[in-house]
Structure 1
Amino acid sequence: MKVICALLEQHGRVLVTQRSENMREPLLWEFPGGKLEAGESEQECLVRELREELTLSVEPVLRLSPVVHHSPDRTIELIPYICMYHGGAIQLIEHRAYQWAKQDELPNYAWCPADLPIVQEYLALKRG
């Protein structure tokens, strides 16, 4: 299963979302996104998912390295994109909480396992 996620940047911070109690991996933090649907591009998926889940308008800009994560009941390919924010006010439709995190705060979150390599790649990219 392919899942696309956004590293949404604004004012030197990145949007992170906390999964709700009734989601898989409850209360862990992740980059927002969702499942790729048949016939849609990765970028279209990301624009749709952020509009549906957070009521945000975004533009995917840079694709980072996909992460293949195996758990006992499924395998996902998590495909991250650095995105630009184009508008909207965050409304939590599915998630429990959100934060605009500074880069140096990212390692402090309790991340979903699939998101951890993305955090590391993003920080390495930003440190140059």
Structure 2
Amino acid sequence: MNTLDVCCALIELPAARGPLLLGAKKKTGQSNGLLYEFPGGKVEPGENARHAVIREIREELGCTVFPVRMLTPVRHREPERIIRLIPFLCRLELCALPRPLEHENLGFFSRRTLEELPWAPADRLVLKEWLEEHR
């Protein structure tokens, strides 16, 4: 079974009561439609995951991020392939705010709200690690 490397960005926004995290709601008709995910996409041949997350966020959200550090990659089995989701904790560059170019909508959410949102299966595991770090 083929393994596909996919990167995603956990974009934090500092706030007085703890950081907020960006969640992106997928459009109807897409894989995992109307579920929340961390934006990102496929790592292209010859590209490393750090460069891929910068490129994907520019394409999907129209803004620039700085990957601060990589979190634990997650393996998620789908019927036809295995996805290795490579998450990066990212800082938003101040020049532009994210826009939902490929998503239904976007939002920055508190820890409590994040736990209540309907997340795509692979992204739930990534969120769990972030939540554990922000107890």
Scaled to the shorter chain, the TM-score interval is over 0.9
Measured in 1, the distance between the counterparts of 2:30 and 2:101 equals: 12
1:77 to 2:77 alignment: no
How many residues align structurally? 127
Aligned AA for 1:120? K
Q: Which residue of 2 aligns with 1:3?
A: 6
TM-score, normalised to structure 2, is: 0.90
Q: Which residue of 2 aligns with 1:23?
A: 30
Deviation at 1:19, TM superposition (A): 0.6
Q: Which residue of 1 aligns with 2:39?
A: 32
Aligned AA for 2:57? L
TM-score, normalised to structure 1, is: 0.94
Measured in 2, the distance between the counterparts of 1:37 and 1:29 equals: 23
3-state SS, counterpart of residue 98 of structure 1:
strand
Measured in 2, the distance between the counterparts of 1:119 and 1:81 equals: 11
CA RMSD of aligned residues (A): 1.0
The correspondence of residues 33-72 of structure 1 with structure 2, limited to 5 A, is 33-72=40-79
Measured in 2, the distance between the counterparts of 1:9 and 1:104 equals: 15
Deviation at 1:73, TM superposition (A): 2.3
3-state SS, counterpart of residue 117 of structure 1:
helix
Deviation at 1:119, TM superposition (A): 0.9
Deviation at 1:10, TM superposition (A): 0.9
**Aligned counterpart for 1:125 among listed residues 124, 128, 133:** 133
Measured in 2, the distance between the counterparts of 1:93 and 1:22 equals: 16
Structure 1: gaps of 5 or more residues: none
Deviating above 3 A after TM superposition, structure 1's stretches of 4 or more consecutive aligned residues are none
Measured in 1, the distance between the counterparts of 2:37 and 2:57 equals: 13
Q: Which residue of 1 aligns with 2:98?
A: 90
